[in-house]
């Protein structure tokens, strides 16, 4: 398993769209993750695990409590720096350092407490005191979180992960145990659609979608075997033969990340993207966010600082798949209902108006009759 986890990313045969999506997510976490859909044995897990060798270096907190304390917080938000990190800063120690991003894999049988955290059971039993201990999501902070067979994960666990990915924080309340910590991670997941689908509201939270089909040609399938066999015979030698390509891809990702802040979406590209989304009838506003962020990453990889329409076209299939609302057309149904409500309201208010007019006329007649009697 350890050897398989390091099969070179660049050695995966074909599957260019899958590799492109994973690279875009490595460049720009704002693409909101990647979902790989395909049958078993098509290289999804091998490609994701191979990301380890091409991930860029990022500056991360070394807070011993897993709270993500950073030195700049001391000036901007001192309440976010724990006592331990304050002491370290006072002694001239660093509380953040540059580290290569890691891949954190989520076991399929985890529970909510494993994922988000909870009370330290040892301290609770031995010392009869409660102390919050962060869960797996704290280790995923600033890293890649990989969930294989995401569609088989318990809904409570999946909801917690999706909420953390959306907000960048994990907040835990378990009775007397309360805690929070940063969890800004890039979610990469895979699934076999034959084993069930994701709920639409959860699917909407994942940015890029790739259909991973087996490679098509005889030569490609033979090449899959040749490379697998060579890797099994000599893992280190096989990785070494791809070291140059791996280094080039990692350098490209690192440079693109550093360039990303300068990349803007051009007016023509923005208008074209929105026109496509509207014509396809896609309702979720996350669509344009992901589409623009993926296009920005694509332009950054191409060493440009303005997104063009061609960038939008290149990433659009990854973003727009499975975005259209399934089932009834809720907007059309709402419009039909509004028309019906309006007609009923107008009919009743018109009847009420006529009744009021008749009552007013009758009251006037009564009032006039009374005046004539008095005279």
**CA 296 to CA 302: how far, in whole Å?**
10
What are the CA-CA distances from residue 88 to residues 48, 73, 79, 126, 179 (Å)? 36, 14, 16, 29, 22
Residue 120 in tokens? 């330290």
CA angle 272, 275, 282 (to 5 degrees): 130
**CA 74 to CA 63: how far, in whole Å?**
14
User: Counting beta carbons within 10 angstroms of the beta carbon of residue 160, is it exposed (0 to 12), middle (13 to 18) or buried (19 or more)?
Assistant: buried
Q: 3-state class of 65 per DSSP?
A: coil
Check: CB of residue 190 under 8 Å from CB of residue 51: no
Length of the chain, please? 375
The residue with tokens 């709402």 is 334
Please list the residues that pair with 59 across neighbouring strands.
Answer: 98
**CA 14 to CA 35: how far, in whole Å?**
18
What are the CA-CA distances from residue 333 to residues 107, 338, 339 (Å)? 42, 9, 10
Please list the residues that pair with 306 across neighbouring strands.
Answer: 264
Which residues form the catalytic set?
286
In the chain, the N- to C-terminal Cα span, in Å, equals: 110
Which helix H or strand E contains 51, and what residues bound it? none
Residues 6+ apart with CB under 8 A from 188: 22, 25, 33, 34, 36, 48, 51, 144, 145, 146, 147
Check: CB of residue 145 under 8 Å from CB of residue 188: yes
Check: CB of residue 298 under 8 Å from CB of residue 311: yes
CA nearest neighbour of 181 among 116, 120, 226 = 116
């Amino acid at each position: 398993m350890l050897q398989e986890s390091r099969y070179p990313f660049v050695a995966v045969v074909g599957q260019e769209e899958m590799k492109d999506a994973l690279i875009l997510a490595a460049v720009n976490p704002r693409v909101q993750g990647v979902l790989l859909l395909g049958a078993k044995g098509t290289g999804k897990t091998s490609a994701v695990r191979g990301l380890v060798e091409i991930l860029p270096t990022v500056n991360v907190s070394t807070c011993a409590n897993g709270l993500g304390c950073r030195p700049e917080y001391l000036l901007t938000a001192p309440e976010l720096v724990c006592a331990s990190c304050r002491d370290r800063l006072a002694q001239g120690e660093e509380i953040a350092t540059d580290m290569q991003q890691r891949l954190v894999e989520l076991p399929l049988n985890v529970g909510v407490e494993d994922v988000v955290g909870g009370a330290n059971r040892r301290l609770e039993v031995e010392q009869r005191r409660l102390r919050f201990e962060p869960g797996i999501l704290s280790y995923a902070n600033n890293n890649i979180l990989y969930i294989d067979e995401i569609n088989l994960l318990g809904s409570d666990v999946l909801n917690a992960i999706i909420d953390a990915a959306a907000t960048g924080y994990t907040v835990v309340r378990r009775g007397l145990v309360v805690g929070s910590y940063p969890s800004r991670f890039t979610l990469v997941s895979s699934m076999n659609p034959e084993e069930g689908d994701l709920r639409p509201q959860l699917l909407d939270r994942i940015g890029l979608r790739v259909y991973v089909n087996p490679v098509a040609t005889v030569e490609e399938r033979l090449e899959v075997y040749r490379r697998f066999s060579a890797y099994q015979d000599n893992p280190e030698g096989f990785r070494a033969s791809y070291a140059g390509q791996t280094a080039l891809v990692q350098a490209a990702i690192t440079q693109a990340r550093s360039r990303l802040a300068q990349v803007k979406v051009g007016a023509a590209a923005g208008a074209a993207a929105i026109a496509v989304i509207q014509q396809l009838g896609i309702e979720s506003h996350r669509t344009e966010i992901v589409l623009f962020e993926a296009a920005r990453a694509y332009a950054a990889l191409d060493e440009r600082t303005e997104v063009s329409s061609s960038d939008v076209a290149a990433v659009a299939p990854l973003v727009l798949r499975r975005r259209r609302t399934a089932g009834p057309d809720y907007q059309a149904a709402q419009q039909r209902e509004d028309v019906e409500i309006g007609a009923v309201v107008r009919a009743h208010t018109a009847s009420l108006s006529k009744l009021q007019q008749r009552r007013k006329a009758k009251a006037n007649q009564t009032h006039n009759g009374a005046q004539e009697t008095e005279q």
